Structure 1
């Protein structure tokens, strides 16, 4: 014991109650989900920092942004999990209403990174699965003396205790919440329509893996609306963002041109369904933005998630279109005016002036240079320039270094420009 007591352990904590609530469809404990949820909660637990000067304790957050930025690779590397294990584990936690995910575009080292995942826990749902009502709530003497019993409401004619759907009442008025696995028996639906109510913590905690809960079909970005409706219930106010209805959307008049012409009918129908939440002109602008990204060969980590991100910005009035497809669509269909052909320059002809005046350089050069560098030169004229064509690059460099001598001999006798170049033929 002494040796173990000297070891310094760090890391997150997993309450034992989670192992009984987080279940896979097979009935076994979702160990991956427990591990991921424990890490997310750990990142949101305040970090105590002691001021060495005053001795006061300050609590700060462990991350720099407003929410915990956690790509899949973070969990893969830290817990030695596969990409599919992390993706499915986060999906199960999100469907159960224990976390919410939001995809954003952030700037890293001066470059924009699209589809970066930000994760936040739902405190009310976590409390519901972490401190559930014990089965012996009516026998306070069964609890250890060191634990103070929690006061629970008792049913009375004046104030009935609300019982969430699927919960079981126990003696003493306590409510025992079922696990979040799909193990509840099917109950007949109430034929009478029930008025919409805000989603409370018990409903979130009892969400089922099979997707029959109120959170089914929610994508990562749409789940952001759950957080506000959970922490600040407002039955009459709509959520800031809602997923598209499950029923097929009406045929929205959208143009699938340019880079979307090869899409199948199923993909087009899915795009129409998601964009049906926007007015047609705005929906076309969002589709054009997606169209342009496809044309640029943009690599999507989650294309539907990125599209939902654009839709959400458009609903908030923050969408700024950058695509030029609309302008290209409005451009006249007439072909551009033909550019007049430029007359080809006349073919070069041998220069009589070079044949006449080239020999004058012999008296200006050292012995042997005239025969080595000047005689191999060929003079040609193209109507604008008198070119001295050299057989190799070394001769070009030699002539360039002594160019004032060539200008002294040739320039007074012609109006053409002078130049030196390698032989073209």
Structure 2
């Protein structure tokens, strides 16, 4: 049985490393230009080379996003950019524009091409067309059901791979082809600069009274009629496996290291459990519980089980649910002293109840009884961003382990 790929987002080099160490088979990244997440930190050429080396040395893959819809002014630099990245050893380029595909086939013919979800592929005829143009994998539109995906699989050659998003933010517009951001802010969503106006609160204005705004009452909290819930298919692993997909994709290049690591490891556990015993597979609620411990909106299964309906939208708020704080990353561990060197990411202090997670187990809890600065001086609190501190550990830990703190578990 060919094992399905778990594909994770990586907004920068650090996130790439965490994604791979926590269970991703491949990651997708963006350069400083020509990807659809301009607000992410993204990758310099130097970081690309380091990321590829890190991934390949562990048997993992790296895909580069080139999926903007370019205008004439983009083309000259796009061509030189492709010539540079085409020599780096990427496992695939993700693109949506036919002209970009043509140039990639010309100057980097050995690099696989994956068709972005931005191309709105919703049927097997279109998928076959792109495959005949040299596309190895089609990333299907988010608006497809499991039944439709299975039909595409049955009507396309096995040499064409199929990929679909299974987790993360959803776009109100068809597969992300949005013009609202351009209209409202002048920021082009199709060139990586979306301002996310679908998450804003709206009021009604009558044409002859432009200074008088009237609420559109969805709930007492406001009106968010463009605002989608986040996608989560952790409960649908058997159905995803049976659909014929080759790759399951997580959204979130602008999310935190903690988000990437924890979501990836939950899906990794679920996928591995399925392969260990497909007939006896049992969904574990703790996988979903772990996913809910990262910043998220309420969840939906999107279009997988049929058309999205009113239950797929959020009407009360566009805010994220944040029940846990990501407070630190283990840099090293001294097994003799049982002390970890921690790089702080959010404020925490002596007396706090914390949880430590790693790639191979979900978590253990402990209380921070003592804390020292990098020079060994006792301190009560770690308030400075990326401050190096030493914390005694109840159990052994390792580099890249993550510390988190439940918001309700704060002393005082």
TM-score if structure 1 supplies the norm length? 0.20
Higher normalized strand content (fraction of residues): 2
When Rg is computed on C-alpha atoms for both structures, the one with the higher figure is: 1
TM-score if structure 2 supplies the norm length? 0.21
Higher relative contact order (CA 8 A, sep 6+): 2
